[in-house]
Amino acid sequence: MDYSYILKTSKVLPEKLAEFGFEEKNGSYFCRKNILNGDFYSIIELKGNFLTAKVFESGSDERYVLFDVENANGSFVGEIRNQVRKIIELFRSQCCKTSDTKKKYMDFIQNKFGCKGDNPWSDTPENTVFRCKNKKWFALIIKIKFSRLGLSGDEEVFAVNLKANPKIIPEITDKITVFPAWHMNKKYWITVLLTEAADWEKLCALTEQSFELVNSKK
């Protein structure tokens, strides 16, 4: 099962992996954790931007395939998924630096461009718009579910919509922290996650470009 969404909001601390039980092999990190009192075990694999888990029966080492079947229901498979999820959450808390960078980003915009954000929508007060002097916005901070960006999971995350040069959008949308814009024209706008996983310098540079593109319009 794919848990890579964890890495969209968290930055892995390599020095913590061995403490958690990971071992490196051929460029990947593997960790074995017992579940259901040792009757089953899960193999967690971390490779680049991917984090996955597989479940096996301890007695036979055969893979428990129902764990990966999305529509498989029942209390037993549900408990297995619950225990694996707890392991993944423990991994995030012990091996990752996790926080959103919304406040840091808002401070950057205010200091760099001398403008304060406004909240034009009463039903989504967490969404913040930053405007140029021409009253057009160059940055829209939103709270969005991963699924809206084509990722697995319903976890919510802060992100920002920025205007970009259409010629470079295909190059910069890596679908890891930079995506085709949500709810805006994908030809001219992008969505960038405001998380520890995002490249801060790149985020700032993209924001400056957005400001210049919007501010140049009369």
Half-sphere exposure of 120 (CA within 13 A, CB side): 8
Q: Are residues 126 and 107 in the same domain?
A: yes
- Give the per-residue pLDDT at 179: 94
- Summarize pLDDT for 32-85 with one digit per residue, the tens: 999 999 999 999 999 988 999 999 999 999 999 999 998 888 999 999 999 999
Q: Are residues 78 and 120 in the same domain?
A: no
- Give the per-residue pLDDT at 168: 94
Residues 50-59: contacts with CB under 8 Å, at least 24 apart: 50/2, 50/4, 50/7, 51/2, 51/3, 51/4, 51/6, 51/7, 51/88, 51/91, 52/1, 52/2, 52/3, 52/4, 53/1, 53/3, 53/84, 53/87, 53/88, 54/1, 55/80, 55/84, 58/34
pLDDT band for position 8 (cuts 50, 70, 90): confident
Q: Which of 72, 96, 120 is the last residue of a domain?
A: 96
**1 belongs to a structural domain:** no
Q: Are residues 202 and 119 in the same domain?
A: yes
- Give the per-residue pLDDT at 175: 87
Q: Are residues 82 and 181 in the same domain?
A: no
- Summarize pLDDT for 197-211 with one digit per residue, the tens: 888 999 999 999 999
Mean pLDDT of 9-33: 94
Inform me whether the pLDDT recorded for 217 exceeds 70.
Answer: no
Handedness of CA 217, 181, 161, 140 (dihedral sign): positive
Q: Which residue segment(s) compose the domain that 79 sits in? A: 6-96
Q: Are residues 108 and 208 in the same domain?
A: yes
Q: Are residues 106 and 206 in the same domain?
A: yes
Residue 140 sits in a domain whose CATH number is 3.90.1150.30
Q: Are residues 90 and 113 in the same domain?
A: no
Helix runs in the chain, H state only: 6-9, 17-20, 75-95, 102-113, 169-172, 200-215
pLDDT, the chain, mean: 91
Q: Are residues 26 and 116 in the same domain?
A: no
Q: Which of 47, 79, 96 is the last residue of a domain?
A: 96
* Overall domain count for the chain: 2
Half-sphere exposure of 192 (CA within 13 A, CB side): 26
Mean pLDDT of 111-135: 90
**42 belongs to a structural domain:** yes
Mean pLDDT of 179-193: 94
CA 163, CA 199: separation in Å to the nearest integer?
17
Nearest-Å Rg of the Cα atoms of the chain is 21
Q: Are residues 211 and 109 in the same domain?
A: yes
Q: Are residues 183 and 114 in the same domain?
A: yes
The pTM score is 0.69
